[in-house]
């Protein structure tokens, strides 16, 4: 055979870069950027080669595993699916459907097989004890979108290619490659803003890689963005800079919002945020003065106690400054595949609550910060079984050590995952799907969050072989068995529903269907199809009952009371206490790519970054091992002394902590690090949205 070339989209992060893969005889020879992809234009990051390394990883699971008294045993697929379905049915019969929980992790949205097929399985499971990584990530974004625009998935994105002023709160797109903003090659798009005379400003307690390339950066005390945003809003009103333009015609609550923020003057919030009043005024004035400007917030403002309020105010500021739904501002994509579903009033909020903490459901989910207590607290409705898919909550959710204790107490657990890791080691069965290069893929979510309208479909590069199953086949196999009960007969079972059929129908029914967009057309265009720049979509796209936006929604106004109380109390940090924040690094991806030698090699990146003042106060020297303690636990790490973090702040990456026994991650184990989520506190929640407050966790740091 000769060398062949395959084109596909990288599904490791939200940037969805086009890849050009040279291969021969089932071996990958090289992975480079696809220069013909109109969206990513040849850009890739160092993680792209990870797709090959995952494919070849000897630790990656290829057969179902069953836990037995003498260890893990490989079993065949039909036995595995039969036994798992039987155990799930048994749980349901004994304890009711809601005693079995579900946790979906991040790669679920990077995997169209899971995304399109898991809902069918969940319907068959019938449980409302549903949890996901959304509640350690972006629930506040969904909450604000629901309240303002009527649907949690109607999420605006910064129109990067046309903006002249980009104000970033709590995001580090140069490392994360962008999030809730699909924008491959952020670095060059950022440079282009500057080249056309525009300005990029970053608000972050750490001088990030993005901040280093920006025109201005302000340190902010972690967890206090809500006050800065309130004060910026106040400045717009106080200085007559409110100018919603055509949006005034369908926006309510402008005056009420002005009244609600009136007390939050820049002077009033300066101490708590650590930002001078004059600088706050400048931030607001510049946003208002920018002809084409946008304020954007990401994980840093979402995973904190006031995440919901932060995202409300970020949307409101864009609207008030005239940037919402305007070119160069905060716009809505028009995706080829609609993800909003049928029109109708969205009402999936507080229909039921978590049993122990009474946290309200949102989007059919409960906060994952409540998962461990729901398993550990005895009584009517206690969780007894768990299904995980694409997730590693032991490392990714707050108080992971407590969750581990909880998982080990379950009657039954099954994980659909490619690794035997910190979470799946607690399962009774692990069902490993074919992955990455073996799968077909369409970015259902990320085309809907992209800064240009685009569409791209990827064929599998390698045949998964007859012994493997796709994620969607696992879900469909379980769904059929749950639905058929004892009557399940493999020989007479109907064919599994391939999600590609759904995809094709969705494309042909979608915004570009009439113009000919279909799966067949995408197959003929392996570099993807550009569907043009973002278009204004309001008010037609609104899903609110009256087709208007209410800036003064009662849930937000009520939650301001919580913010007022925090502001009124003197700064709470004890002098010896630091506020812990998380960071990402380019060659890593949450918790699960540390087993790839090419990505993990090099200096140890799992360090605790401290400002020189804080290190001196504790008599610490660079590289020394320190003990970090919080209300819930303690870990040890080498300290990295750097002025790039704000005084009073400690920064550590998330996704490490691979020392736990019983995993099959030979490389990651040798680079174990420590898990930040052994320090983050399950009790800290954004009460409004249910998102975990992973940022600004009080910790104590001392030399050993």
Ligand X SMILES: Nc1nc2c(c(=O)[nH]1)N[C@H]1C(S)=C(S)[C@@H](COP(=O)(O)OP(=O)(O)OC[C@H]3O[C@@H](n4cnc5c(=O)[nH]c(N)nc54)[C@H](O)[C@@H]3O)O[C@H]1N2
- Count of other CB atoms within 10 angstroms of residue 523: 11
Shortest distance in whole angstroms from residue 326 CB to ligand X: 23
Q: Is 594 in the site for ligand SF4 (CB under 6 A)?
A: no
| C-alpha distance from residue 323 to each of 112, 142, 235 (Å) | 32, 19, 16
Cβ closest to ligand X, residue 526 vs residue 655: 655
Stretch that binds Mo ion, among 88-96, 133-141, 447-455, 518-526 (CB under 5 A): 133-141
Q: Does 373 bind Mo ion (CB under 5 A)?
A: no
CA separation for the pair 65, 76 (Å, rounded): 9
Contacts 24+ apart (CB under 8 A), 510-519: 510/335, 510/336, 510/337, 510/338, 511/334, 511/335, 511/336, 511/338, 512/336, 512/455, 517/336, 517/455, 519/457
SS3 656: coil
Per-residue contact flags (x/-) with Mo ion for residues 142 to 181, judged by CB under 5 A: ----------------------------------------
User: Distance (Å, rounded) from C-alpha 113 to C-alpha 470?
Assistant: 7
Closer residue to Mo ion in complex, CB, 19/136: 136
Does the protein bind ligand SF4 through residue 292 (CB under 6 A)?
A: no
Looking at 357-452, list the stretches that DSSP marks H as alpha helix, in order from N- to C-terminal side.
371-376, 393-396, 400-407
Nearer to ligand SF4, 190 or 359 (CB): 190
Q: Does 14 bind Mo ion (CB under 5 A)?
A: no
Measured over the CA atoms of residue 13, residue 413, residue 469 and residue 24, the dihedral's sign is positive
**Does 117 help bind ligand X (rule: CB under 6 A)?**
no
Least distance in angstroms from the C-beta of 176 to Mo ion: 9
DSSP H/E element including 667:
helix 666-669
- Binding to ligand SF4 (CB under 6 A) within 170-199 occurs at 177, 184
Minimal CB distance to Mo ion: which residue?
137
| Rounded-to-integer distance, Cα 3 and Cα 570, Å | 67
| CA gap 693, 651 in Å, rounded | 15
630 near ligand X, rule: CB under 6 A: no
12 binds, options Mo ion, ligand SF4, ligand X, none, Cβ within 5 to 8 A by partner type: ligand SF4
Q: CA quadruple 402, 406, 409, 414: dihedral positive or negative?
A: negative
Figure out which of the listed residues 21, 45, 133, 284 binds ligand SF4, where binding follows CB under 6 A.
45
Residues 654-673 as x/- pattern, contact with ligand X by CB under 6 A: xx------------------
Shortest Å, Cβ 512 to ligand X: 28
Longest dimension (CA), the chain: 74
Among 6, 7, 10, 390, binds ligand SF4 (CB under 6 A): 10
Residue 583 site contact among Mo ion, ligand SF4, ligand X, none (CB < 5 to 8 Å, cut-off depends on kind): ligand X
Binding letters toward ligand X, positions 207-246, x by CB under 6 A: -x-----------x-xx-x---------------------
Binding of residue 689 to ligand X (CB under 6 A): no
Taking the C-alpha atoms of residue 170 and residue 646, their distance in angstroms, rounded to an integer, is 14
Contact partner, 223, from ligand X, ligand SF4, Mo ion, none, Cβ < 5-8 Å per class: ligand X
Coil, strand or helix at 265 = coil
Q: Which is nearer to ligand X, 330 or 592 (CB)?
A: 592
Question: Is 680 in contact with 398 (CB distance < 8 Å)?
Answer: yes
Site string for ligand X, 38-77 (x = CB under 6 A): ----------------------------------------
CB of 67 to Mo ion, least distance (A): 29
457-491 as b/e: b if 16+ CB within 10 A: bbebbbebeeebbbbbbbbbbbbbbbeeeeebeee
Q: Is 686 in the site for Mo ion (CB under 5 A)?
A: no
Instruction: Show the binding pattern over residues 562-581: x = contacts ligand X (CB under 6 A), - = does not.
Output: -------------------x
CA distance linking residue 609 with residue 646, whole number of Å = 10
3-state secondary structure of 216: strand
For 408, phi then psi, to 5°, come to: -70, -10
User: What are φ and ψ of residue 147, in 5° steps?
Assistant: -65, -40
Handedness of CA 219, 221, 225, 230 (dihedral sign): negative
Instruction: Using CB under 6 A, list all residues that contact ligand SF4.
Output: 10, 12-13, 15-17, 44-45, 47-48, 177, 184
Instruction: Using CB under 6 A, list all residues that contact ligand X.
Output: 13, 105-107, 111, 133, 136-137, 169-173, 175-177, 179, 203-206, 208, 220, 222-223, 225, 298-301, 304, 389-393, 396, 416-419, 421, 433, 435, 471, 581-586, 588-592, 654-655, 676-677, 680, 694-696
Instruction: Using CB under 5 A, list all residues that contact Mo ion.
Output: 137
């Amino acid at each position: 055979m000769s060398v062949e070339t395959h084109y596909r989209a990288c599904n490791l992060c939200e940037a969805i870069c086009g890849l050009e893969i040279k291969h021969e005889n089932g071996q990958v020879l090289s992975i480079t950027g696809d220069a013909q992809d109109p969206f990513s234009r040849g850009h890739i990051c160092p993680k792209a080669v990870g797709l090959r390394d995952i494919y070849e990883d000897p630790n990656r699971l290829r057969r179902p595993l069953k836990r037995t008294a003498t260890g893990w045993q490989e079993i065949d697929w039909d036995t595995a699916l039969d036994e798992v379905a039987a155990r799930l049915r048994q749980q349901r019969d004994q304890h009711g459907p809601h005693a079995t929980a579900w946790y979906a992790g991040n790669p679920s949205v990077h995997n169209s097989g899971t995304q399109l097929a898991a809902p069918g399985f969940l319907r068959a499971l019938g449980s409302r004890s549903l949890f996901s990584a959304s509640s350690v990530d972006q629930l506040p974004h969904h909450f604000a979108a629901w309240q303002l625009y009527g649907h949690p998935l109607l999420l605006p994105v910064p129109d990067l290619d046309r903006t002249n002023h980009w104000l970033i709160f709590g995001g580090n797109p140069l490392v994360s490659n962008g999030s809730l903003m699909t924008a491959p090659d952020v670095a060059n798009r950022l440079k282009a803003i500057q080249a056309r005379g525009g300005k990029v400003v970053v608000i972050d307690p750490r001088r990030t890689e993005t901040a280093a390339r920006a025109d201005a950066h302000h340190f902010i005390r972690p967890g206090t963005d809500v006050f800065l945003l309130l004060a910026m809003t106040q400045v717009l009103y106080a200085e007559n800079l409110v100018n919603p333009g055509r949006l005034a015609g369908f926006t309510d609550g402008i005056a009420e919002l002005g009244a609600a923020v009136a007390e939050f003057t820049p002077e009033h919030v300066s101490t708590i945020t650590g930002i001078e009043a004059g600088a706050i005024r400048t931030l607001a004035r510049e946003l208002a003065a920018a002809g084409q400007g946008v304020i954007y917030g990401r994980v840093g403002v979402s995973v904190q106690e006031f995440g919901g309020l932060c995202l409300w105010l970020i949307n409101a500021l864009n609207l008030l400054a005239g940037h919402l739904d305007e070119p160069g501002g905060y716009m809505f994509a028009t995706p080829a595949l609609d993800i909003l579903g049928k029109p109708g009033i969205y009402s999936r909020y507080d229909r039921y609550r978590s049993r122990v903490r009474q946290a309200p459901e949102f989007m059919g989910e409960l906060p994952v910060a409540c998962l461990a207590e729901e398993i550990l607290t005895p009584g009517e409705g206690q969780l007894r079984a768990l299904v995980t898919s694409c997730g590693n909550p032991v490392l990714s959710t707050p108080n992971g050590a407590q969750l581990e204790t909880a998982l080990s107490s379950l009657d039954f657990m099954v994980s659909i995952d490619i690794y035997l890791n910190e979470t799946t080691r607690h399962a009774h069965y692990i069902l490993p799907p074919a992955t990455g290069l073996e799968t077909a893929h369409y970015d259902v979510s990320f085309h809907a969050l992209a800064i240009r309208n685009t569409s791209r479909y990827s064929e599998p590069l390698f045949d998964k072989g007859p012994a493997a199953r796709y994620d969607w086949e696992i879900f469909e196999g379980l769904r059929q068995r749950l639905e058929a009960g004892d009557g399940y007969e493999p020989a007479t079972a109907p064919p599994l529903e391939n999600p590609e059929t759904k995809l094709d129908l969705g494309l042909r029914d979608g915004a570009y269907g009439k113009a000919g967009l279909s799966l067949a057309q995408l197959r003929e265009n392996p570099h993807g199809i550009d569907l043009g720049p973002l278009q204004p979509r309001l008010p037609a796209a609104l899903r609110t009952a009256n087709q208007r936006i209410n800036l003064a929604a009662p849930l937000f106004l009520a939650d301001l009371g919580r913010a007022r109380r925090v502001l009124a109390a003197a700064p709470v940090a004890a002098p010896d206490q630091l506020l812990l924040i998380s960071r990402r690094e380019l060659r890593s991806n949450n918790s699960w790519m540390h087993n790839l030698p090419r990505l993990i090699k090099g200096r140890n990146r799992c360090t605790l970054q401290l400002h020189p003042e804080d290190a001196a106060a504790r008599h610490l020297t660079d590289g020394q091992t320190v003990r970090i303690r919080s209300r819930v636990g303690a870990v040890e790490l080498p300290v990295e002394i750097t002025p790039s973090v704000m005084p009073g702040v400690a920064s550590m990456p998330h996704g490490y902590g691979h020392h736990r026994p019983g995993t099959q991650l030979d490389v990651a184990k040798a680079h174990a690090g420590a898990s930040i989520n052994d320090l983050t506190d399950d009790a800290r929640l954004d009460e409004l949205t249910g998102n975990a407050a992973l940022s600004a966790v009080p910790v104590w740091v001392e030399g050993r």
